[in-house]
Structure 1
């Protein structure tokens, strides 16, 4: 009998435009709903289409990251533009979040 490795289930969330006070609560709800699925082992937030991020958007990401940790799940950001990366660096959240260059990096992770 062969041991079959368990394949991780990856859920990808792709927010678009501005992540600000106007839509941060909706983003947080979507992230929490994705993490609430029992078979999800990795939540990947693809920021390729995000043009702007304010403190409310950051707090939604931090909240979901904390929940993922509490549930024993992985949480990654990918396709982070240079302007969003600068915000993460200024807030030192680049040291908190695991950031992949793009979602293809998951194949080797």
Structure 2
């Protein structure tokens, strides 16, 4: 999917653990977003230090939902413990992963940011 020059960015910034409870909260926040075609959903994992299989389920459900709505979901600032889980499950090849938030927008000139807390 290509990002149009003008796109809306929906930023999710979970903190702590994405386990059963944290994954449920993230899923609720993603479900609360009214998807619009060509939105960019960014999950910034800078403050996430742990993720288990329940957390993976919430990420995969979010990715599926985004794609079905014509949106793009990417991950950024993935910490080492979380990256390891993604690599072991080979989901690092399914998700678009960027080292930093700014790296996502190397080709995007104009964007609207919506932060979901």
Bucket of the pairwise TM-score, normalised by the shorter protein:
0.7 to 0.9
Deviation at 1:37, TM superposition (A): 3.8
Richer in strand (by share): 2
1:81 to 72, 79, 82: 79
Whole-Å separation in 2 of the counterparts to 1:38 and 1:106: 19
Gaps in structure 2 of 5+ consecutive residues: 108-117
Aligned Cα RMSD in Å?
A: 1.6
Gaps in structure 1 of 5+ consecutive residues: none
Whole-Å separation in 2 of the counterparts to 1:61 and 1:46: 12
Q: Is this contact kept in 2: 1:9–1:39, CA < 8 A?
A: no
Whole-Å separation in 2 of the counterparts to 1:74 and 1:11: 10
Greater relative contact order structure (CA < 8 Å, 6+ sep): 2
Q: Is this contact kept in 2: 1:48–1:78, CA < 8 A?
A: yes
Larger displacement relative to structure 2 (36-45 or 59-68): 36-45
Deviation at 1:51, TM superposition (A): 0.8
Q: How does 1:41-56 map to 2 (within 5 A)?
A: 41-56=39-54
Q: How does 1:1-109 map to 2 (within 5 A)?
A: 7-34=6-33, 36-38=34-36, 41-109=39-107
TM-score of the aligned structures, taking structure 2 as reference length: 0.82
Greater gyration radius = 1
Deviation at 1:25, TM superposition (A): 1.3
Whole-Å separation in 2 of the counterparts to 1:75 and 1:95: 13
TM-score of the aligned structures, taking structure 1 as reference length: 0.88
Aligned residues: 104
